[in-house]
């Protein structure tokens, strides 16, 4: 079958633009590693060498499937991060991604990739420069990667982009105290929402109007989101820097934008070219240092801005100019439901957009700041000031909208169990999941007597208190089998790789206590890996 190849989509440029020679900013390197080409583009790659066809009724050699997953993952047509990297197994999601690519490129949408076919030729035209110098992993390496991930030992492949790196930028102005305070609550709200929606465009508008003052607020905001959820902070950092003009991007990052390696390649090869991948904390260390510095300067008794979701800009004379209502923007693109005051309580219970997800702070703390007044001129470029003549009705509605948690057993001393998770320790009398839950929730009783409470049906449904004991049930009972059932401690709702789910603390045989993410709507996975197959362990007391 002959496929027409558009050939019009050039290879993706992994290196974002930016003036790297600005005073006071770091150069185009990190950790002593150059980010330039360094001769890599002159090397070849075997990512486009297929032994046979891939598709329904094709040989589907695992090595070929691994290559196709990686290629489509980098073209943006297949979510290779959803499975924590390529697997080497042909299936419906990969077929859909392939057909989507063929449709976008003007090719015959047949769902096949043949060694000398037009689809593979198109992929090579698009992605050859991206994969030059990288070899495709073998299926043995892919299997080892997933085994290591399950054991918490770190995978072998690049399964998602490394964190965006921020550097110190002493050229930026000092962050104002009111903006520092207001960012605390805004960070909690944005971490709940998870999906940035139109926020990057709002940030770009603020930077365009107010320059470096807006940039320093954005850096502080990303840093504070990182204190709540590192994954969501990286997401916000990434979309904001992509939205900014090159010169502003350099200021926002404090240096040149580090290029991302292609997904699906061996991590060792990627680090040899781009330098070691930083941890989220390392990547945002400069922001954490700034927060500590601003915190020392901030007046801890200063009034705190109420955060009603309006992104504002502040002129020199203290006049607040609302750019746009963030919640309205997010409602337009489907991230949250638009609602009036009468819907506030239902919104709290059905917080479709209050996500994260490796965003995780489903129920944010307000640090006791509700009810404090704000004087004119406070709030910063990204926060609302209290409007003239505003009443306290909004405060009452805020309290009315506080979520009512599902009735369940809640773990005590949760911080200690999370420390055990970091130390890779099992908790309780044995390695079973039930042992952890019983240790965390004394008095919960034998698992054979557990009763099913509220079912978890989606993000924020129902609102759950951090530390709530959950489990899979069948016909209202917990089945104490060796496999196919599971119990865990709920941590928070969140998003990971753009998909909603929840973070839990659990353990199992051969896998010590760990922080684990469960996705919603994952019907193709086992029951214990589906967030919406869990229920609260009911507490009748």
Please determine, for residue 416, whether its predicted confidence score (pLDDT) is greater than 70. yes
pLDDT at 224 over 90: yes
- What is the percent of the chain where pLDDT is above 90? 42
Look at residue 59 and tell me whether its pLDDT is greater than 60.
yes
Cα dist from 290 to 15, 130, 211, whole Å: 26, 35, 18
pLDDT for 43: 66
Q: How do residues 136-161 score in pLDDT, each as one tens digit?
A: 999 999 999 999 988 888 899 999 99
pLDDT tens, position by position, 464-520: 888 999 999 988 888 877 677 899 999 988 888 778 899 999 988 778 888 889 999
DSSP state, 385?
P
Task: Write down the pLDDT at residue 353.
Answer: 35
| pTM for this entry | 0.52
Which residues touch 482 (CB under 8 Å, ≥6 apart)? none
Is the pLDDT score of 263 beyond 70? Answer: yes
User: What is the SS3 assignment for 198?
Assistant: coil
Say if CB 280 and CB 163 are below 8 A apart: yes
* pLDDT tens-digit series, residues 226-256: 999 888 999 999 999 999 999 999 999 999 9
pLDDT at residue 41 tops 50: no
Taking residues 350-371, report their average pLDDT: 34
* The three-state (H, E, C) secondary structure of 186-241, written as one string: HHHHHHHHCCCCCHHHHHHHHHHHHCHHHHHHHHHHHHHHHHHCHHHHHHHHHHHH
pLDDT at 369: 35
Q: What is the mean pLDDT of residues 15-34?
A: 32
The DSSP bridge partners found for residue 499 are 496
Q: Is the pLDDT of residue 354 over 50?
A: no
| Domain extent listing, the chain | 37-151, 177-257+275-400, 414-537
Between these two residues, 35 and 26, which has the higher pLDDT value? 35
Would you state the pLDDT for residue 24? 32
pLDDT at 195 over 90: no
Percent of the chain with pLDDT over 70: 71
Instruction: Give the position of tokens 């507490």.
Output: 539
**Mean pLDDT for the chain?**
76
Distance from C-alpha of 28 to C-alpha of 31, rounded to nearest angstrom: 10
pLDDT at 383: 57
Active site residues: 433, 486
pLDDT for 206: 92
């Amino acid at each position: 079958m002959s496929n027409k190849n558009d050939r019009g989509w050039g290879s993706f440029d992994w290196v974002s633009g930016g003036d790297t020679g600005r005073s006071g900013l770091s150069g185009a390197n990190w950790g002593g590693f150059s980010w330039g080409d360094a001769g890599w583009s002159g090397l070849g790659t075997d990512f486009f060498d297929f032994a046979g066809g891939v598709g329904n009724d094709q040989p589907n050699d695992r090595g070929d499937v691994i290559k196709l997953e990686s290629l489509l993952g980098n073209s943006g047509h297949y979510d290779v991060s959803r499975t924590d990297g390529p697997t080497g197994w042909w299936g419906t999601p990969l077929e859909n991604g392939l057909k989507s690519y063929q449709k976008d490129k003007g090719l015959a949408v047949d769902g096949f990739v043949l060694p000398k076919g037009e689809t593979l030729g198109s992929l090579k035209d698009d992605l050859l420069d991206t994969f030059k110098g990288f070899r495709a992993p073998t299926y043995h390496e892919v299997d080892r990667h997933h085994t290591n991930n399950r054991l918490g030992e770190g995978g072998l492949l690049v399964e998602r982009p490394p964190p965006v790196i921020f550097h110190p930028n002493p050229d930026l102005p000092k962050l104002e105290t009111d903006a520092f305070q207001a960012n605390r609550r805004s960070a909690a709200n944005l971490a709940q929402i998870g999906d940035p929606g139109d926020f990057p465009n709002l940030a770009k508008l603020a930077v365009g109007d107010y320059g470096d003052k807006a940039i320093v607020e954005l850096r502080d905001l990303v840093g504070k989101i990182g204190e709540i959820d590192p994954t969501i902070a990286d997401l916000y950092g990434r979309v904001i820097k992509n939205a900014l003009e090159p010169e502003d991007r350099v200021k926002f990052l404090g240096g040149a934008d580090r290029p991302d390696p292609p997904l699906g390649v061996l991590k060792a090869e990627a680090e040899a070219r781009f330098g070691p991948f930083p941890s989220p904390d390392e990547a945002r260390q400069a922001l954490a240092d700034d927060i500590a510095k601003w915190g020392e300067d901030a007046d801890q008794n200063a009034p705190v801005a109420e955060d009603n979701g309006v992104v504002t800009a502040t002129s020199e004379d203290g006049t607040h100019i609302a750019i746009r209502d963030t919640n309205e923007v997010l409602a337009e693109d489907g991230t949250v439901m638009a609602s009036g005051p009468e819907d506030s309580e239902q919104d709290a219970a059905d917080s479709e957009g209050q996500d994260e997800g490796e965003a995780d702070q489903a129920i944010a703390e307000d640090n006791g700041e509700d009810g404090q007044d704000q004087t004119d001129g406070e709030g910063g470029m990204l926060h609302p000031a209290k409007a003239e003549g505003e009443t306290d009705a909004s405060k009452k509605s805020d309290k009315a909208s506080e979520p009512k948690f599902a009735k369940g057993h809640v773990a005590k001393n949760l911080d200690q169990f999370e420390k055990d998770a970091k130390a890779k320790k099992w908790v309780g009398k044995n390695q079973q999941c039930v042992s952890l839950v019983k240790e965390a929730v004394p008095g919960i009783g034998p698992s054979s007597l557990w009763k099913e409470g509220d079912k978890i049906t989606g993000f924020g449904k129902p609102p759950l208190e951090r530390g709530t004991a959950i489990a899979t049930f069948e016909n209202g009972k917990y089945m104490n089998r060796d496999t196919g059932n599971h119990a865990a401690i709920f941590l928070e709702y969140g998003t990971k790789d753009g998909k909603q789910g929840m973070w839990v603390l659990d353990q199992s045989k051969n896998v010590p206590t760990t922080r684990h993410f469960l996705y919603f709507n994952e019907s193709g996975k086992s029951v214990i890996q589906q967030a919406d197959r869990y229920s609260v362990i009911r507490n009748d007391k």
